[in-house]
Amino acid sequence: GESVGLHLPTLSVQEGDNSIINCAYSNSASDYFIWYKQESGKGPQFIIDIRSNMDKRQGQRVTVLLNKTVKHLSLQIAATQPGDSAVYFCAENIGGGSNYKLTFGKGTLLTVNP
Amino acid sequence: DAEITQSPRHKITETGRQVTLACHQTWNHNNMFWYRQDLGHGLRLIHYSYGVHDTNKGEVSDGYSVSRSNTEDLPLTLESAASSQTSVYFCASRADGGKQFFGPGTRLTVL
């Protein structure tokens, strides 16, 4: 089976609330992780990445947390907006070197209610 | 601005026909990838290339081929289209050690 998975397939939040999307991975050798956002009919859009030598990284309204002890990755979106409604994927790279190949989870559908 | 494009965006074909999907990027990235996306499976890697004249098979490569004659393009060919190849296809590119970016996708229907 896939080594990257998601705890919740769907998440519904109110506009203005914070959202947390979770991802579990099973391979302790994974050294690089990416979160993507995919809106209906569009390609995945890069949101934020994190390397395994970090446990937290912040972007604009988004934070990724990495817990290597329990092999868990989360994406936090602050002050969620209707435009954040989309499917969110986590992806992991297994193996070293710059020529990585990503393995993707199936995604979580985030719905933001106005 | 640099970008990655795919064409056509929609394609309907018949079983047994050869189909080629185009992918073009203007970032001068060495690394290019083709994925298919199906409900219940997420994104699955078909073929990838780490540079000109380099091609590699991904996890679902049967029935597909690619060629890399220049840095900008990685066309994906379905030698004899099958109904099981009805899917949405995404091309992606990445600089060495860099972030991976995706194209807008091609929706292929095989009748």
What pLDDT score was predicted for residue A2? 36
Report the gap between the CA of B102 and the closest CA in chain A (Å).
6
- Whether cis (ω within 30° of 0) applies to the bond prior to A9 is no
Q: Do residue A101 and residue B48 have CB atoms under 8 angstroms apart? A: yes
Q: Do residue A43 and residue B104 have CB atoms under 8 angstroms apart? A: yes
**Chain B residues contacting A via beta carbons under 8 Å:** 31, 33, 40-43, 45, 48, 50, 58, 90, 96-97, 99-105
Mapped onto helix, strand or coil, the DSSP state of residue B89 is: strand
Per-residue pLDDT at B3 exceeds 70: yes
Per-residue pLDDT at A79 exceeds 90: yes
Q: What is the mean pLDDT of residues B75-85?
A: 97
Q: Do residue A34 and residue B41 have CB atoms under 8 angstroms apart? A: no
Task: Note the Cα B13 to chain centre separation in Å.
Answer: 17
Tokens of A14: 């109110």
With beta carbons under 8 A apart, name residues in chain A contacting B101: 46
d(CA B84, CA B100): 27
For residues B89 and B63, the answer to whether their CB atoms sit within 8 Å is no
What pLDDT score was predicted for residue B98? 80
Q: What is the mean pLDDT of residues A65-91?
A: 95
- pLDDT range class, residue A97, cuts 50, 70, 90: low
Q: What's the one-letter identity of residue A22?
A: N
Dihedral pair phi/psi, residue A20, rounded to 5°: -130, 120
Q: Do residue B31 and residue A99 have CB atoms under 8 angstroms apart? A: yes
Q: What is the mean pLDDT of residues A25-42?
A: 90
Report the gap between the CA of A46 and the closest CA in chain B (Å).
7
Q: Do residue A99 and residue B90 have CB atoms under 8 angstroms apart? A: no
Report the gap between the CA of A63 and the closest CA in chain B (Å).
17
Q: What is the mean pLDDT of residues A14-41?
A: 92
Task: Find residue B44's DSSP bridge partners.
Answer: B36
For residues B89 and B9, the answer to whether their CB atoms sit within 8 Å is no
Q: What percent of chain B shows pLDDT beyond 90?
A: 89
Q: What is the mean pLDDT of residues B67-91?
A: 97
What pLDDT score was predicted for residue A96? 58
Tokens of A19: 């959202």
- pLDDT range class, residue A95, cuts 50, 70, 90: low
What pLDDT score was predicted for residue B41? 77
Q: What is the mean pLDDT of residues B72-96?
A: 96
Specify the range with the lowest mean pLDDT, choosing from A40-54, A92-106, B13-27, B63-77: A92-106
Which residues does A16 contact at the CB level (< 8 Å), separation at least 6?
Answer: A79, A80
